[in-house]
Amino acid sequence: LMRLHQLSMTAFGPFATSETLDFDALNDAGLFLLSGPTGGGKSSILDAVCFALYGQTPGVRDVKGLKSQHAAESVAPEVVLEFSIGGRRWEVRRTPEWTRPKKRGDGVD
């Protein structure tokens, strides 16, 4: 049985800054529901979990397009997922491919 503990997203999907979800607070109920208005980021949360675990997202979303359009150009997108399985706790950290501004001069790297 896999249990999610915490998900942190930075400059990922619609989230311009860092957002953290504490699944431990939800796990006590045994079942929880992601709800909210259209465009609220529900699918992006699931995409972040899938990207952290598998390095890709389901469906037609391209991994290169996961960086938030709302984030500053210099902010690196990142997903950190803490989970446990088989009695062991794991943390996985992934950064999707993105184009960042050059440190010197104009343009991108």
Rg (CA), the chain: 15
| Distance set, CA 69 to CA 16, 64, 75, 78, 80 (Å) | 7, 12, 11, 14, 19
Q: Is a pLDDT exceeding 70 seen at residue 81?
A: yes
Better pLDDT: 100 or 4? 4
The Cβ of residue 22 has, within 10 Å, a number of other Cβ atoms equal to 13
Q: Is a pLDDT exceeding 70 seen at residue 77?
A: yes
Q: Which residues, 6 or more positions from 4, have their beta carbon under 8 angstroms from its beta carbon? A: 23, 27, 49, 81, 82, 83
Question: Considering only 3-7, 29-33, 55-59, 77-81, which range has the smallest mean pLDDT?
Answer: 29-33
pLDDT, the chain, mean = 87
Amino acid (1-letter code) at residue 73: E
Better pLDDT: 101 or 68? 68
Q: What is the pLDDT of residues 31-76, one digit of tens each?
A: 778 888 888 889 999 999 999 999 998 876 666 678 988 888 889 9
Average pLDDT over residues 79-95: 97
Q: Is residue 28 a contact partner of residue 16, using CB atoms and an 8 Å limit?
A: no
Average pLDDT over residues 18-42: 86
Q: Is a pLDDT exceeding 80 seen at residue 94?
A: yes
